[in-house]
């Protein structure tokens, strides 16, 4: 199982939000490249980078990735600083052009959320055009229902239903976040994560709520169900656990 340290970007800085709420922001560093180098030095096999300005701004102004130059510049800089480390990148990606742009700028895999609900056939086209290894769906859910537009809107689609629809369209990877746990350090939702993987056949990366090594170990126990990895943010930045020990636990 892979551990992916999170690098959430807002205004060019590395931040963490609680439950995705912009007003509950903690700034951890002004230089994302320094943070990326730190995680790579500690053994990171992947980096999970999120353009929060894209995710949150898209809800207000329907901006495309091409209008978010600052965080995309940081993506390029992170790629240059960590040339051999795969990067998973998401936030505000709405079109095939957006996907192509971030892949060109250094992302290994692009993550799409809102568009999967609004335009599911675009996901099929993305898989056809870029390959199933280079795109993933974000299944962000609150009480079982998928949330979109930076988690500001709640759909009437369940995470399992959307996961099945994505699997039918050739998507292979999903990031599942129980948004009520994100940034709260109150434990990852292992049960729903494993159930989602089992029901959809997707390779699921867990996100949200990781607090201790026990969370990592519980997820690893469910790896046969289809758990691909775990994204860790707040616990790493707050010092609750180290990346190196999380990686050892995941293995």
What is the rounded CA–CA span in Å between residue 34 and residue 66? 24
Question: Would you state the pLDDT for residue 195?
Answer: 94
pLDDT at 145: 87
- Whether the CB-CB separation of 52 and 11 falls below 8 Å is answered with no
- Listed by start position, the domains of the chain span 2-250
- pLDDT at residue number 61: 39
pLDDT for res 109: 98
- Architecture (CATH level 2) of domain 2-250: Alpha-Beta Barrel (3.20)
C-alpha 167/C-alpha 184 separation (Å) is 30
Rounded-to-integer distance, Cα 98 and Cα 116, Å: 14
Length of the chain equals 251
Ramachandran sector of residue 12 (left: φ over 0; alpha: ψ -120 to 50; beta: rest): left
Token pair 């709260």 in the structure block, residue: 184
Q: Which helix (H) or strand (E) holds 54?
A: helix 52-61
- Residue 148's Cβ-count burial label (10 Å; 0-12, 13-18, 19+) is buried
Please, what are the averages of pLDDT over each run of 10 residues along the chain (251 residues)?
Answer: 95 77 72 97 97 64 51 93 97 92 96 90 97 96 80 84 96 91 71 95 94 94 96 93 96 91
**Other residues' Cβ atoms within 10 Å of the Cβ of residue 96:** 14
Alpha carbon distance 25, 52 (integer Å): 11
Helix and strand element counts for the chain (H, E): 11, 12
Q: Tokens 């209008």 — which residue?
A: 67
- Nearest to residue 77, comparing CAs of 97, 42, 53, 47? 47
- Are the CB atoms for 3 and 229 separated by under 8 Å? yes
**pLDDT at position 22:** 61
Q: What is the pLDDT of residue 59?
A: 40
pLDDT at residue 153 in the model: 80
Helix (H, G, I), strand (E, B) or coil at 245: helix
Q: Which residues are catalytic?
A: 8, 140
């Amino acid at each position: 199982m892979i551990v992916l340290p999170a690098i959430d970007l807002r205004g060019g800085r590395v931040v963490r939000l609680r439950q995705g709420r912009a007003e509950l922001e903690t700034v951890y560093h002004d230089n994302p490249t320094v943070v990326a180098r730190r995680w790579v030095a500690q053994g990171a096999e992947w980096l999970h980078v999120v353009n929060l300005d894209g995710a949150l701004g898209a809800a207000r102004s329907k901006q495309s990735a091409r209008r978010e130059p600052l965080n995309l510049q940081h993506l390029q800089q992170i790629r240059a600083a960590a040339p051999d480390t795969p990067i998973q990148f998401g936030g505000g990606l709405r079109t095939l052009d957006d996907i192509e742009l971030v892949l060109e700028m250094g992302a290994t895999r692009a993550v799409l959320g809102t568009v999967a609900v609004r335009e599911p056939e675009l996901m099929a086209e993305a898989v056809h055009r870029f390959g199933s290894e280079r795109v993933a769906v974000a299944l962000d859910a609150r009480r079982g229902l998928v949330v979109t537009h930076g988690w500001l809107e709640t759909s009437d689609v369940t995470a399992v239903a959307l996961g099945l629809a994505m699997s039918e369209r050739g998507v292979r990877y999903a990031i599942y976040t129980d948004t009520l746990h994100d940034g709260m350090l109150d434990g990852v939702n292992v049960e729903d994560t494993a159930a989602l993987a089992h029901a959809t056949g997707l390779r699921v990366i867990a996100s949200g709520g990781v607090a201790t090594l026990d969370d990592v170990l519980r997820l690893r126990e469910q790896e046969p169900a289809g758990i691909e990895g775990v994204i860790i943010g707040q616990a790493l930045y707050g010092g609750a656990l180290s990346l190196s020990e999380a990686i050892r636990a995941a293995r």
